[in-house]
Amino acid sequence: EVQLVESGGGLVQPGGSLRLSCAASGFMFNNYWIHWVRQAPGNGLVWVARIKSDGTVINYADSVKGRFTISRDNAKNTVYLQMNSLRAEDTAVYYCARRAVAVVPGGMDVWGQGTTVTVSS
Amino acid sequence: DIVMTQSPLSLAVTPGEPASISCRSSQSLLHSNGYTYFDWYLQRPGQSPQLLIYLGSNRASGVPDRFSGSGSGTDFTLRISRVEAEDVGLYYCMQALLTPHTFGQGTKLEIK
């Protein structure tokens, strides 16, 4: 079964750190970009970051640049999101999603179930 | 950043009737490679988002053919030919031409 499974969420104090993981299975992991998208309670979807299949291209939203780091281990079929200097406004459900590297571009066609990050004292 | 503006932000539709959602981007989403980097996503209540339409008009695998996407450049439309109960949720447009990728505000579809 093709799937992405996020983990690592939890409750953290402002200024703290968390590392989210996105584990892939059922497909050729190194053929896909992986994106992180978050959704604050009652709010819409917000794109956070992406990493290319081979890790050579990385982009971030301005709101997380310098605080979050995306990385991947293709041997483990896993993408990570290291989140430092967390703020209350980072509270959200974090989803990872895949997007194919292909001659004809696709959409984000597989999403994980999400992991919840709560930043609060 | 590219701004995505959806309308309406909510709509209530009788089952079997059509529905339409519009999305406008602040700049053209046409890439030099000829592809338009525009998607539609549906987030059903309590679920993760799912891809409906990519490249403006291509239905994703498993998406019923009552869903269709059209448009080009900066103006796009999602149409549902006959709304069913399972179509309730939040519909988002998204541009993937440039980073940061940006979503519309979301359109809430309810059943009358």
Which of B38, B53, B54 best probes binding to A when mutated, by most A CB atoms within 10 angstroms?
A: B54
Instruction: Please list every residue in chain B whose beta carbon sits closer than 8 Å to the beta carbon of residue A64.
Output: none
Residue written as token pair 């200097």: A85
- Tell me, what amino acid is at A92? A
pLDDT value at position A100? Answer: 83
Compute the nearest-CA separation of A106 from chain B (Å).
6
Each residue's pLDDT tens digit, B91-110: 999 999 999 999 999 999 99
pLDDT value at position A39? Answer: 98
CB–CB of A33/A51 below 8 Å? yes
Give me chain B's average pLDDT, please.
97
Q: Which two tokens stand for residue A34?
A: 């992986």
Residues in B whose CB is inside 8 Å of some CB of A read 35, 37, 39, 41, 43, 48-51, 53-55, 60-61, 90, 92, 94, 96, 99-106
Instruction: Please list every residue in chain B whose beta carbon sits closer than 8 Å to the beta carbon of residue A50.
Output: 99, 101
pLDDT value at position A105? Answer: 84
CA A46 – CA A111 distance, rounded (Å):
14
pLDDT value at position A50? Answer: 98
Compute the nearest-CA separation of A96 from chain B (Å).
10
Mean pLDDT of A20-27: 97
Contacts of A65 (CB under 8 A, 6+ apart): none
- Contact of A107 with chain B, judged by CB distance below 8 Å, is answered with yes
Mean pLDDT of B16-33: 97
pLDDT(B27) > 80: yes
The DSSP bridge partners found for residue A72 are A79
Segments of chain A assigned E as strands: 3-7, 10-12, 18-25, 32-39, 45-51, 58-60, 68-73, 78-83, 92-100, 108-111, 115-119
Q: Which two tokens stand for residue A44?
A: 């819409």
A61-70, long-range: CB within 8 Å, 24+ apart, which pairs? A61/B100, A62/B100, A63/A89, A64/A90, A70/A34, A70/A36
Segments of B8-106 assigned E as strands: 10-13, 19-25, 38-43, 50-54, 58-59, 67-72, 75-80, 89-95, 102-103
Confidence of residue A91 (pLDDT cuts 50, 70, 90): very high
pLDDT value at position A68? Answer: 98
Mean pLDDT of A100-113: 88
Backbone angle region of A109, left / alpha / beta, with phi > 0 → left and psi within -120 to 50 → alpha:
alpha
Among candidates B8, B10, B9, B7, which has minimal Cα distance to B110?
A: B10
3-state secondary structure of A89: helix
Confidence of residue A51 (pLDDT cuts 50, 70, 90): very high
Each residue's pLDDT tens digit, B48-57: 999 999 999 9
pLDDT(A106) > 90: no
pLDDT(B78) > 80: yes
pLDDT(A103) > 90: no
pLDDT value at position A102? Answer: 75
Confidence of residue A101 (pLDDT cuts 50, 70, 90): confident
A–B: how many Cβ contacts below 8 A? 65
CB–CB of A93/A114 below 8 Å? yes
CA B53 to chain centre: 7
Mean pLDDT of A68-84: 98
Confidence of residue B28 (pLDDT cuts 50, 70, 90): very high
Q: Scanning every residue of chain B, which has its alpha carbon at the shortest distance from the alpha carbon of A59?
A: B99
